[in-house]
Amino acid sequence: MNQIHVDSITLDIIENALKNARFEMDEVVRRISLSPVIREQHDEFPMICNNRGQMVVGQFGSYIPGVLQKFGDDLNEGDVFIWNDPYASKGSISHNNDWCVMLPIFHNNILVGFSSIFGHMIDVGGKVPGSMPADARSIWEEGLRVPPVKIYEAGKLNQAVLDIMLNNSRTPEMNRSDMMALIAGCKAAETRVRALCDRFGVQLYLRSCDLLLERTRSAMQVLIHKYIPEEPVSFTDYVDDDGRGNGPFKLTLSIYRKGDIAVFDWTGTDDQAEGPINFLIHEGLCKLFFGVYMIMAFDPDTLFNEGFYDLFEIVLPEGSLLNPRFPAALGNRLNTHTRFFDCQAGALGQRAPHLSMAAGYGTSPHFIFTGLDKNGAYFQVMELLFGGVPGRPRGDGLDGHAWWPLFSATPIEYIENYYPVIVERYRPIQDSGGPGLHRGGCGIEKVYRVLEPGEISIHDDREIVAPWGINGGKCGGTSSKHILRNGATANERLPSKLDNFAVKLGDKIIFKTAGAGGWGDPLQRPAATVVRDVRNGLVSAAQARSAYGVEIDGNGRLLTKQTEALRKEIEKTRGVVPKFDFGVIPLKVTQ
């Protein structure tokens, strides 16, 4: 098969057909799913793999060979596999809420590939609604764990497995719909891959998949030699706390090159937490995260796949936050997961500061509200919130945007139509974007007024440790949460991680997410751009003066001469501009 010639036009046709099929998977899932987390916010991740289980197109990869080990040759057309246990699936998914489905793709009885998707289920049991208890000490508290099993065997539904999975959820109807949506998305990819095999032949299709992997590998080899130094560079960032009063927790990353191999070493990262911020990361997924960052930062035209895996070496100390021992709790691992990306940016930014970015809001804030409506029916709304995206070499960070590019906000109309909630305010938070030549994105303030008594859960981070700025940029604003009781005149501060907090009719929850760090010297930002930000409510006149050296009169007009004089004075007195601005890092506390 390796001798089969594939011309460049045919290879491009197959590449783009697979990329289109991957986006078709997204759309099929969106149309069929029922929960707002998948249907509206798109918290699902598809991929299409070759017959060895290597991702050719998609967002996550690497897990299929490990999952298939237990099944050996028992692989048939019409089989559909499902699992949600991170430990039993070697970290292919990272907490119990993610249900992963996978099916083998056959063409005329020949295995030609796999399609797979995992998506966040709104509830999988456990001790709290949403299945992500902020104070969990073990994974046993976080809901039902299902090892890789066949939900369909040769086309026949395993009703017993499905019944067990749905019986352990507070939202069985949504879970069933969402699971079937994931399977339908995989079936859509199966149809497209079979069509490519019909058109070009199985052997040419498989050879094309190999060539796409090889092309990505070649591009990555160039990036490694250009941006990964032989001398180690290290960077440290922090997670605020673990939900049980312990923290902050340190993540330390060292990056260096050995010949053609890039080494990513997490030695120095803190031991696993007592609470649920541990992130059980598969070594292959770890390679994938580094690869996608390097491609997006340095060569975004490169196809994102697994072709570069042999060029990366990963060190994940056992028993650390990134390689916890069973049965460590994992439910809120995104606080650590996102800091993983911040550490990449900080380490790589030391070699290529002109191409790196600052730190973002750095978590996956979510709000859960549960209770009984006026008819006595159970309701459970879960919404992911967004924050500031980092300032970048190409421009400002985005305000109130997801750190996963394809995520979108749940429409307010959807929330208010289906749940007893009114969203009274949804706006960027002034001055939360770190000042810089390119401003960090602002966090958002969202105010919910509840129309029924019930309980809320809140999970967030970056309340203590600010998102840092780079290349002279300043750190961004931190997050905060408050409640205004119905009839009260003053807010009460809430912690960033809490569960089952009782609320009454008319209470308002004020949810403020973190901003992002700025990129570059704020004094180099065009004064007219600062004035625009002030007019748009993103920057205050006070911050315009103190951070950007821009003077504005009472009517919002730029005072040019005063600005020039102020900037010269600030530049003269401020001293050396630091490469990173972290704000204040608190001492570690362990209860």
Distances (CA, A) of 457 to 134, 304, 378, 473: 8, 36, 16, 34
**Boundary (domain end) residue, out of 185, 215, 245:** 215
Residue 431 has a pLDDT of 98
- Cα separation, 477 vs 463, in Å, equals 9
Q: Is residue 398 part of a domain?
A: yes
The CA–CA distances, whole Å, from 215 to 47, 295, 309, 488 equal 18, 13, 13, 62
Domain boundary among 192, 215, 238: 215
> Residue 148 in 3-state DSSP?
coil
Q: Which H or E run includes 285?
A: helix 283-298
- The total domain count for the chain is 2
Q: What is the pLDDT along the chain (591 residues), one digit of tens a residue?
A: 457 899 999 999 999 999 999 999 999 999 999 999 999 999 999 999 999 999 999 987 778 888 888 888 899 999 999 999 999 988 888 999 999 999 999 999 999 999 999 999 999 999 999 999 999 999 999 999 999 999 999 999 999 999 999 999 999 999 999 999 999 999 999 999 999 999 999 999 999 999 999 999 999 999 999 889 899 999 999 999 999 999 999 999 999 999 999 999 999 999 999 999 999 988 888 898 888 888 887 888 888 899 999 999 999 999 999 999 999 999 999 899 989 889 999 998 887 777 789 999 988 899 999 999 999 999 999 999 999 999 999 899 999 998 777 788 999 999 999 999 999 999 999 999 999 999 999 999 999 999 999 999 999 999 999 999 999 999 999 999 999 999 999 999 999 999 999 999 999 999 999 999 999 999 999 999 999 999 999 999 999 999 999 999 989 999 999 999 999 999 999 988 889 999 887 666 554
Of 176, 192, 215, the position where a domain reaches its end is: 215
Judge contact between 442 and 470, C-beta under 8 A.
no
In a domain, 249, yes or no: no
Phi then psi for residue 427, to 5 deg, are: -155, 160
Q: Which residue has the tokens 């992963």?
A: 100
Would you call 570 helix, strand, or coil by DSSP?
helix
Instruction: Look up the domain containing 51 and give its range.
Output: 8-215
587 in a structural domain: yes
What is the pLDDT, as a whole number, of residue 587? 64
Q: Give domain status of residue 349, yes or no.
A: no
User: Looking at the domain assignment, is residue 297 inside a domain?
Assistant: no
Q: Is residue 536 part of a domain?
A: no
pLDDT of residue 503: 98
Burial of 91 (0-12, 13-18, 19+ CB in 10 A): buried
Q: How would you classify the pairing of strands 444-450 and 508-512?
A: antiparallel
Question: What pTM value is reported for the model?
Answer: 0.93
**Is residue 554 assigned to a domain?**
no
C-beta neighbour count of 337 within 10 angstroms = 21
Residue 208 inside a domain? The answer is yes
* pLDDT on residue 591: 42
DSSP lists the bridge partners of residue 366 as 384, 459
- Supply the angle between the helices 8-32 and 172-200 in degrees, to the nearest 10: 160
**Which residues, at least 6 apart from 199, have a Cβ–Cβ distance to it below 8 Å?**
none
